Amino acid sequence: HSIRKLHEEKIQIHGMFVFGSDEDDRETLRETVSFAKKLDIDSVQFMILTPLPGSQTYETYKKESRILTYDWNLYDAHHVVYTPKKMTPFELQKETFKAMNKFYSWVQILKRVWARDAYNVVIKTYAKNIISKWKKDNRSYMKDMKSGVPYQSEDEKHLFPFSIRSKLKTIGIPGASLHLGSREFLKS
C-alpha cells in the first residue's frame, strides 16, 4: 500500500536487501527477488552479508572458523567472504548474482519501456551493464569459488581456513604416539 502511494506521488523506491544470514537458503533469496518485483520496487541492491572486523558477526564467524579470506578488497558486500550455514559460499555468490540478473532482466526493462518510464529504463539498463561488467571482472574469482579454492594465492592457502567439509582429509593416529610431547609427536 505504501509503495503504491509513493508511486502515485512520483516517488521512486530503492530497496536494499542483505543475503546470507544464518537463516537464509537459496529459496529465501529467490523469494526476496519475487517480493521486490511483485512490489514494483524501482531499483534494488542485493548485497551479501559482510562480517566487518570489530562487529559481533565477524567475531562469531572468526571463532567458528567461517571466515574464508582476510583480503579486505573483497569485503565490499559483493563477494562472499565467509561460509554461510545453509548453503555453500559459491551458492550464495551465484544466487545473489542470479537475483540481480532476474531483477534487472530485459523483461523488466521492457516493462518499463512499455510503461513509458524513461527514468527506470535508464536505471535498469545501467544496472544490467554493471552486472555484466562485474561478471567479466570476476571470472577467476567465480572459478575459484566454484572449485572451492581460497581467494589467496597457493602460497598463502594454508594460512586461511576454507570450510568446505568435502575437502578435509582424515588421518589415523596410533594410540602409542599419544603419550609423546607435542614436538616428539609431530616429528613422529
In percent, the amount of the chain with pLDDT more than 70 equals 79
Nearest to 36 by CA among 125, 124, 133, 131: 124
Contacts of residue 70, defined as CB under 8 A and 6 or more positions apart, other chains included, come to 160
Total-model pTM: 0.75
Across the chain, where does the E strand assignment appear? Answer: 14-19, 43-48
The set of cell numbers assigned to 162 is: 576454507
Pairing of strands 14-19, 43-48: parallel
pLDDT block averages, 10 residues each, the chain of length 188: 92 94 95 94 95 94 92 92 94 95 92 89 92 90 79 48 42 57 62
Q: For the segment 51-76, what is each residue's pLDDT rounded down to a tens digit? A: 999 999 999 999 999 999 888 889 99
Task: Write the DSSP symbol of residue 67.
Answer: B
CB-based contact 35:4 (threshold 8 Å): no
Q: For the segment 136-162, what is each residue's pLDDT rounded down to a tens digit? A: 998 888 888 888 765 554 444 444 444
- Mapping DSSP to helix (H, G, I), strand (E, B) and coil, where does residue 183 land? helix
Distances (CA, A) of 22 to 25, 63, 144, 160, 188: 8, 15, 23, 21, 41
Residue 86 exposed, middle or buried by CB count within 10 Å (0-12, 13-18, 19+): middle
| Helical segments of the chain, H only | 2-8, 26-38, 56-63, 89-103, 106-114, 118-137, 139-147, 182-187
